[in-house]
Amino acid sequence: MSWGKGLAITLRPIVSMVTIPWTLALAVFAASIYGDFGNDIWSSGEYWTTLLLVVVASYLGVTAGYAVNDYFDYRVDLANPERMDKAANHGISRRDLLSYAAVLGVPSLLIWLYLSPLAFIVAIVQMLCILAYSGWAKASTPYSNLFVVLPTALMPVTVFFVYTPELTKEAILLASVNGVFEPGFTWAGVCRDVETDAKLGVRSLPILRGIPAVARMVLVMWVGLAVLTVVTWYYTDLGLVFLIGAMFAAIWLIANGVAFVKDPKPGTGG
């Protein structure tokens, strides 16, 4: 039971499930503008098949990235047995995690290849960035999250390439939103591991600059996210539903960022 729970934890259910509605929204938006599905898009079997494959490929790719990250973080996670939200503390071996990553990641890449060669190329770049992040950067530089910013930002580009070979303004603007969100998310989360990182000699950002400084950086990202949300809405055909929903999320994040600045503790950030 614990082993199975560990596999489920590797998927990061709460975080990775966000990938589904976000990818779905991106695909519907891209298809409505650039898709070639005839006049009645909603009755097109090709439209629904493509939509399903895009969501599945994206979800599998994201969860494969988490499995790869857990593979490289295995020693760190074992050194912190109280972190029961880590797969390593549920009897899973490193080899299991590597196999898990392959089972998730290979089908994802094959689906992208089937949908669009351009999307496949971008997915390869995303995969290489995650490998560099987990296998080298995370333990070597406090700014390792920059290796995650690129694949996160490229997510809208990958989806849009399924529907058009052009690098569109919509994809670029949505990529900028993702690119600002990721640093705030990662910097807040890495603060939770500060004690373990200190024991293992990991030069993480909160250790080098201190949690109060990181908290301020997180808040700056959330404010930037709110600004980019408005810019994206203004320059695209995204409606008020997008603006209201995105701004609600941004304001919630800003409120959490302010709380983190006022109380810069590991648990507050993560």
How far is residue 144's CA from residue 140's CA, in Å, rounded to a whole number? 8
CB atoms within 10 A of CB 270: 15
Residue 1: per-residue pLDDT: 47
Query: Which of these, 221, 141, 146, lies nearest to 180 by C-alpha position?
Result: 221
Q: Looking at beta carbons, which pairs linking 237-241 to residues 24 or more positions away fall under 8 Å? A: 237/33, 237/170, 238/29
Query: Which of these, 217, 215, 248, 216, lies nearest to 230 by C-alpha position?
Result: 248
- Cβ atoms 191, 145 nearer than 8 A: no
- Angle of the 169-190 helix axis to the 19-34 helix axis, nearest 10: 170
Instruction: Tell me the per-residue pLDDT of 2-32, one tens digit each, with 9 for 90 and over.
Output: 667 767 777 776 777 788 888 998 998 899 8
Instruction: Tell me the per-residue pLDDT of 61-89, one tens digit each, with 9 for 90 and over.
Output: 999 998 888 888 888 777 777 777 777 77
Instruction: Tell me the per-residue pLDDT of 190-216, one tens digit each, with 9 for 90 and over.
Output: 887 787 777 777 778 888 888 899 899
Q: What is the pTM of this model?
A: 0.84
Q: Is 1-167 assigned to CATH 3.40.50.150?
A: no
128 vs 186, residue with greater confidence: 128
| Alpha-carbon distance values, 116 to 119, 126, 162 (Å) | 5, 15, 5
Contacts of 202 (CB under 8 A, 6+ apart): 76, 138, 139, 193, 196
